Amino acid sequence: MLTVDFSRFPLAPGDRVLDLGCGAGRHAFECYRRGARVVALDQNGDEIREVAKWFAAMKEAGEAPEGATATAMEGDALALPFPDESFDVVIISEVMEHIPDDKGVLAEMVRVLKPGGRIAVTVPRYGPEKVCWALSDAYHEVEGGHIRIYKADELLARIREAGLKPYGSHHAHALHSPYWWLKCAFGVDNDKALPVRAYHQLLVWDIMKKPFATRVVEQALNPLIGKSFVAYATKPHLPRAEAEVAAE
C-alpha cells in the first residue's frame, strides 16, 4: 500500500533514492522495482533487518531491473551518514509526526538532496487524526507515538522554510480512516472487536484484490477523509552567482 503517488512523483531508473524512516520498506521496495539505487534507512534495527531480507529476496526473484541497487541501514534522521547532495530523491512517509525536531529533519533532507532533486513528505491528515486523538489517548500517548498533528498549510510552510519549493499535494487512504476510528473507539490494542475485525478483512481484501469499485469510492472520499496528506517539492538550483560563492 503506497502513500506516495509515483504518477505525480516521477522516478527514473538510476535515480539515487533515500527512503528516510522506511519502516517496513513499502516505498523502498517500489523504488527498487522501478530501477532506482535505493537506500532504506530507519532507526529500528529489527525492521531494517527485515527490509534487507526482502531486498535480497526481490533480487533473487528478478523483481528489480538490471542496474538497480538496494541497501538497508540503521541511522539517525537528524544526523544522516551521507555527504551533501547525495540523492536525487528523498521520501519521508508517516515519520515527521513522531520527531520533536521536525525542522532539523527537513534540514538534513535538504542537505543530502541534490539541487533539482525531489522530495515527498507524507503525514497523517489533520481532521482524521484529530478524531483518533479525541477517541483514544492510547493512540498517541505511547513511546515513539505521534507528538503533533499537522495542518496542510503548516507542513507546506515548514517545507518552504527549509528551502524547498512545493509543487503538488493530495490526500490518500480514505478507506483507512474509519478503520482507525474503530480501533480508537474499541481500544487500540483490541483486535478482537467484531467491527474492527470485519473492517480489517475489508481492507485486506481491498489491498489484495484492488477492485475497481473500492478504488472509485476511495478516490471520491480522499478529499474528504483521506488518512494521509502528501506533499511534493523540489530543491531549487542556486542562482549562478550564489552557486559560485558557495563553491568558493
Selected residue with higher pLDDT from 247 and 160: 160
User: 129-178, pLDDT tens digit by residue?
Assistant: 999 999 999 898 887 789 999 999 999 999 999 999 999 999 999 999 99
Least reliable range by pLDDT among 28-42, 49-63, 130-144, 189-203: 130-144
pTM greater than 0.85: yes
Q: Write the burial class of residue 127 (CB in 10 Å: 0-12 exposed, 13-18 middle, 19+ buried).
A: middle
- What is the dihedral angle through the alpha carbons of 198, 177, 7, 63, rounded to the nearest 10 degrees? -40
What cell numbers appear for 34 in the block? 522501478
